[in-house]
Chains A and B, each alone.
Chain A
Amino acid sequence: MKITFPHLGNVYIACKGFLEELGHEVVTPPICSRKTLEIGSKYSPEMMCMPFKIFIGNYIESIEKGADTILITGSCGPCRFGLYPIIQADILKRLGYDVDIIVFDAIGEGIDKLKTNVNKILNSKSSQEIYRSSKLALSLIRKTDDLSQLSNEVRAYALNKIDVDKIMNNYYLNIEQTHGAEELLKLIKNTEIDLREVPIDKNINPLKIGIIGEIYTIIEPFANLEIEKKLGDLNVLVEKSLTPTIWLEHHVLSYPFGSKHENMKHKLAEQYLKNPVGGHGRETVGSAIYYKSRGFDGVIQILPLNCMPEIVAKSILKTVEKDEDFPIMTLVVDEMTGEAGYLTRLEAFIDLINKRREKCIG
């Protein structure tokens, strides 16, 4: 059994570590590229959202590398993500790929099915072994997220942004040759040390921008045209409202009550939106208010074209922007290749915020 999974930012690092600890052979899909999206678009329904298309591209690229089993999480939430595993399995079957698809659905979808699927992955290891692997995986998820955030922070202050590029690029290249969770953790630790040594200008008072919106497009750099890097290069300190760590804490570790952090966002969103609208629509509204309360200078909402929950949030954000007197910009991502228009919007948004700041101070 050679297992693969779709990309979601840095999650592949933890996923690879976890599965390797359990004794599986893992085929990591090649980093998302234009080619991935091309393959995905070719075989996906035209009106589907972009993450779906990238997933299909990931699967096919992995299958070509020898994968025969695909691992994905399901979701019965009222957004198209809930349909992903079923439609995708069908597409792969029609294309003639003979692969096994293991879906981790929410418990509500049937405990027996979940048990069978979990057992396939656990590879009949002892409970002690499973506990150890899970702990390492969790630690990997946290550490990779922390490292991304550290790179964002260092980048905002770095004298030469290229120093950060070099370190992070090296890190990603080394991951391919590193196996097992403990080795990966070591690599992360070393990268962290390198990042902390990058010469910075402590006198910079960077703008702070929160990235909010649809979870996949926030987390996967290919989908958002590397927005964290682009903003960091413009001396902006970026923070994402959703990370794999935040997701895990809310949906798995604090099940069924939800994490404090995300519940607080629901509370903040309440005056605009009392009910979930699928996906992370409610969290997006709450996150905007949350970043305002933390003294951020603005937020950018990212959504894939025709993402229903985020369209609801987008219309509400207009009112939030006015009520809170807080700059909010929405960026819609799709199969775009040109970055010029994207960069123009980012730069203009930063100019706008800078002028606001000058006005407040002087």
Chain B
Amino acid sequence: MDSYYLGIDVGSVSTNIALIDGRDLLVYKKYLRTQGKPIDMIKDGIKELSESFGHSKIKSVGVTGSGRQLASIIVGSDVIKNEITCHAIATLNYNPDIRTIIEIGGQDSKIILMRDGIIVDFAMNTVCAAGTGSFLDRQALRLGIDISEFGNKALKSVNPVRIAGRCAVFAESDMIHKQQLGHSQNDIIKGLCQALVRNYLSNVGKGKDIQGPIAFQGGVAANVGIREAFELELGEELIVPPNYDVMGAIGAALLGKENVKVKGSTSFKGLDLYKNDYVVNGIDCNGCSNHCEILEIKEEDIVLARFGDKCGKWSSNSLRLNS
């Protein structure tokens, strides 16, 4: 029987699943839109996985992304890791020489600096989401084009318009203004790509020593317009790994595999878990003046976890997060 290692990345916009084999090669990947229903998406992903790999042995599971705690409760994971470390691990596994990672996802954008195979510095966007996937989606919608066409249209422009990229709201109103002046769609799109790259470099990449080779990953790496704008600004070619869209999940899978070597066996509940019903309930605790909001997750009728309390009255009886 073949052995595989599973990685799940539950992000705000997409839920990604990656399966690697004993030689760390990717054998299966799935990119699903989270659509605010992380539990359903995890179940959907596992269901599809079981259809193709139902008879294989999953020897470990790693979870990452902003929904990692939830994912861990549902599937039973061997490692719960933040997405920054996961991205770095996956990238180093793909190419150990990479010194800078530019990662732009649905809601977050990150920069990770690595030297000699370890992370030495990183940053994430703080208060502005300009340039991230959701922002680009929205602008594509406004321009009436498909997001997959966005990048190609930018490449066709020879005379990009200047768009203010300091802030997502300003960029949008500036873009509309340029539209009303009659600029061509291609020129506007290219201008927008350049504005967003400037925004990224002055917010997320500010003061960071960006050295090549540079990897570009996350959902936005599919956008050739943004990629070209980066290359122009940095004066260097970017490397887009073949599985740029599921790098976080691959990293989680790699870390899970490492962890199980030490741990001995996996905590994975098995591919049949998609058949179970999961219910999440909110409970208002009135035990004291803190008025904590307790979240309870049930699998069929069994309580899997309760968390959100300050005193431990609820969480001490079940699985505790972050420890």
Q: Which residues of A contact B (CB under 8 A)?
A: 30-31, 33, 161-162, 165-166, 169-170, 173, 176, 230, 233-234, 305, 315, 318, 327, 332, 334, 338, 340-341, 343-345, 347-349, 351-352, 355-356, 359
* Cα distance, A349 to B323, chains bound together (Å): 17
Q: Tell me the complex Cα distance, A355–B117, Å.
A: 10
Q: Are B311 and A352 in contact (CB under 8 A)?
A: no
Residues of B within 8 A of A30 (CB): 289
Knowing A161-B323, A340-B66 touch, does A334 contact B127 (C-beta < 8 A)?
A: yes
Q: How many angstroms between the C-alpha atoms of A140 and B126 in the bound complex?
A: 37
| Interface flag for B9 (CB, 8 Å) | no
CB-CB under 8 A from A343, the residues of chain B are 82, 322
A348/B126 in contact, CB under 8 A: no
B118 adjacent to A356 (CB under 8 Å) = yes
The residues of B that contact A176 with a CB separation of less than 8 Å are: 289
CA gap between A54 and B224 in the complex, in Å: 45
Given contacts A170-B311, A351-B85, A352-B120, 5 further A-B contacts (CB under 8 A): A33-B291, A344-B82, A344-B83, A348-B85, A352-B118
Within the complex, what minimum Cβ distance (angstroms) separates A318 from chain B? 5
Smallest CB–CB gap between B161 and chain A, Å?
30
User: Across the interface, which residues of B come within 8 angstroms of A233, CB to CB?
Assistant: 322-323
Chain B contacts of A170 at CB under 8 A? 311
User: Complex Cα distance A165/B313, Å?
Assistant: 10
B147 at the binding interface (Cβ < 8 Å)? no
**What chain B residues lie within 8 Å of A349 (beta carbons)?**
122
The contact of B312 among A162, A315, A318, A356, by CB within 8 Å, is A162
Q: Which residues of B are at the interface with A, using a C-beta cutoff of 8 A?
A: 66-67, 81-85, 108, 118-122, 124, 126-127, 207, 288-291, 310-312, 315-316, 320, 322-323
- Residue numbers in A under 8 Å from B84 (CB-CB): 344-345, 347-348, 351
Assembly CA distance A347 to B118 (angstroms): 15
Interface of B, helix, strand, loop or mixed by DSSP = loop
Chain B's closest residue to A173 (CB) is B288
B118/A355 in contact, CB under 8 A: yes
A26 → chain B closest CB, angstroms: 16
Known contacts A165-B312, A305-B127; A347/B320 CB under 8 A: no
Contact yes or no, B289 A344, CB < 8 A:
no
State how many angstroms separate the Cβ of B40 from the closest Cβ of chain A.
19
Whether A166 contacts B311 by the Cβ 8 Å rule is yes
Q: Which residues of A contact B66 (CB under 8 A)?
A: 338, 340-341, 344
Cβ-defined contact, B311 with A165, below 8 A? yes
| Cross-chain contact of B119 among A318, A332, A345, A348 (Cβ < 8 A) | A348
CB distance from A237 to the nearest CB of B (A): 16
Chain A residues near B82 (CB-CB < 8 A): 343-345, 347-348, 351
What are 26 residue pairs bridging A and B, where the CB atoms are less than 8 Å apart in the complex?
Answer: A30-B289, A33-B291, A161-B323, A162-B312, A162-B316, A166-B316, A169-B290, A170-B311, A173-B289, A315-B207, A327-B121, A332-B126, A332-B127, A334-B127, A341-B108, A344-B82, A344-B84, A344-B124, A347-B84, A349-B122, A351-B81, A351-B82, A352-B118, A352-B119, A352-B120, A356-B120
